Each structure stands twice: as C-alpha cells, then as structure tokens.
Amino acid sequence: MLVVIAIIGILSIYVALSTAPNSRRQAAADAERLALLLETALQEAQWGGHAIAWSADAKGYRFWQQANERRWQPITDNELYRARSLEGATGISGVEVDGQPLPPGALLKFFPFSMPLFQITLSAPQGELILRSLPNGRVDLQMPKEQ
C-alpha cells in the first residue's frame, strides 16, 4: 500500500511540474500573438483602407484607430485589438521604424498604401525576441536558439 501511495505521489509531482506555466513558452506565445496581431493590423490598413496604429510600454501594448485627421483613439470595441499585457518576465525593450528608434508610447502607424518597416524587441527569459516587418506585409519572429 505504501509503494502505491509513493508512486501516486511521484506521478502527481511530475504532472504538477509538467503543467506549471513555463516562462519561456509564455514569452514565445506572447511574441507569436503580437506578430499575428501586427500582421492583421497591417493587412487591415492596406486592404480595409483605414489607418490603424500600435503603441507599447514596457509591459503591454494596445491598438489605435484614427478618429479624425489628427486625433487617435484606443480601439476598445474590438476583441482582437484590445489592450494586452505581457506575462511574467517578458517586456518590450525597443521599437524601431525605418531604422530609427520610436520613443516610448509613440504610435507605430499603419496607413493604406504605406507599409513601414519596423523592428520590435522583446526581452524574455530565453533572451531577446525580435519581431521584424517584411516588405510583403508579413511579420517575422526571430527567437534565440535553444541551448
């Protein structure tokens, strides 16, 4: 009976450890989600004919829509573009547009017929994750090699 209880105990510890949140996997999932959202925003600006913007701080990001010629407002009525927080130790450490650093909180704007080339660097437990826009409208995710 004690052997069975010991085996059940060992198995339950193994299951608990294997299902515990993994900060490396969470960072990669956050980066992949952001890449897909940015790609979607780029395509919507190109094909939908209306401007969309993105902004970030160290721990999260949000999307914006143009209310009139000069004013931007956060998108709050669309679940896809809702404000999001990055989990755990993941953070946004830098944004560049056309090779120039974008100041923290500034908008990365996507206009119809205009596709900025940008690079977003995320700091994560496994190292830096880099999102890079490509001329074809795709967003490429570069992750450090597993050791």
- Residue 122 gets which letter from DSSP? E
Q: What is the pLDDT of residue 147?
A: 43
pLDDT at 145 over 70: no
pTM for the whole thing?
Answer: 0.80
Burial (0-12, 13-18, 19+ Cβ within 10 Å), 49 = exposed
Q: What is the pLDDT of residue 102?
A: 94
Q: What is the pLDDT of residue 108?
A: 95
Average pLDDT, the chain: 85
Q: What amino acid is encoded at 51 in this protein?
A: A
Mean pLDDT across the stretch 114-126? 89
| pLDDT, tens digit, 9 for 90 and up, residues 28-81 | 888 899 999 999 999 999 888 889 999 998 889 999 998 877 899 999 999 999
Mean pLDDT across the stretch 22-33? 83
Q: What are the CA-CA distances from residue 65 to residues 73, 101, 114 (Å)?
A: 6, 22, 16
Domains annotated for the chain, with CATH where assigned, are 23-142 (3.55.40.10)
Short-list 122, 115, 125, CA closest to 141: 122
Q: What is the pLDDT of residue 96?
A: 95
Q: Is the dihedral angle over the CA atoms 76, 59, 86, 35 positive or is it negative?
A: positive
pLDDT at 22 over 70: no
Residue 24 burial (CB count, 10 A): 17
Give the tokens for residue 36: 């897909």
Q: What is the pLDDT of residue 113?
A: 84
Distance CA 46, CA 41 (A): 9
Scan for tokens 């080339």, then name that residue: 117
The proportion of the chain whose per-residue pLDDT surpasses 90, expressed as a percent, equals: 50
- In whole angstroms, what separates CA 139 from the centre of its chain? 11
Where is pLDDT greater, at 68 or 121? 121
Q: What is the pLDDT of residue 56?
A: 93
